Amino acid sequence: MRRILIANWKMNLNHQTQTQLAEDFKKRLKKIKQLEIVVAPSFVHLQEVSEIFNGTNIKLAAQDVAFEKSGAFTGEVSAGEVREIGCQYAIIGHSERRIKLNETEKMVSGKINQCYGAGMIPILCVGETSEERMRNETESVIIKQLYDSIYKVSGLPEKEIIIAYEPVWAVGGSQFLDPDELAPIAFLVKKTLSAMYSEKFYNNNVRFIYGGSVNSIIAPAFWSAKFLDGLLIGAASLDIEEFYNIASEGETFSARGQ
User: Residues 230 to 249: which contact ligand PEP by CB under 6 A?
Assistant: 232-236
* Least gap, CB of 221 to ligand PEP (angstroms): 15
User: Residues 125 to 144: which contact ligand PEP by CB under 6 A?
Assistant: none
Based on CB atoms, which residue is closest to ligand PEP, 61 or 201? 61
* Least gap, CB of 96 to ligand PEP (angstroms): 7
User: Residues 152 to 181: which contact ligand PEP by CB under 6 A?
Assistant: 166, 171-172
Based on CB atoms, which residue is closest to ligand PEP, 41 or 212? 212
> Nearest to residue 181, comparing CAs of 222, 141, 120?
222
In this chain, which stretch among 131-139, 143-151, 195-203, 229-237 interacts with ligand PEP, using CB under 6 A? 229-237
CB 190 within 8 A of CB 150: no
Other C-beta atoms closer than 10 Å to the C-beta of 51 total 13
Based on CB atoms, which residue is closest to ligand PEP, 60 or 235? 235
* Least gap, CB of 230 to ligand PEP (angstroms): 12
Q: Which of 94, 96, 103, 249 is catalytic?
A: 94
Task: Determine the residue with CB nearest ligand PEP.
Answer: 234
Sign of CA dihedral 183, 1, 202, 168: positive
Based on CB atoms, which residue is closest to ligand PEP, 8 or 205? 8
Number of residues that bind ligand PEP (CB under 6 A): 13
> Nearest to residue 122, comparing CAs of 110, 134, 136?
110
214 binds ligand PEP (CB under 6 A): yes
63 binds ligand PEP (CB under 6 A): no
In this chain, which stretch among 50-58, 75-83, 140-148, 227-235 interacts with ligand PEP, using CB under 6 A? 227-235
* Least gap, CB of 233 to ligand PEP (angstroms): 5
45 noted as active-site residue: no
Measured distance CA(34)–CA(247) in Å, rounded: 9
Binding mask 192-211 for ligand PEP (x = CB under 6 A): -------------------x
| Residues of the shown chain interacting with ligand PEP in the complex, contacts defined by CB under 6 A | 8, 166, 171-172, 211-214, 232-236
Q: Point out the residues that are catalytic.
A: 94, 166
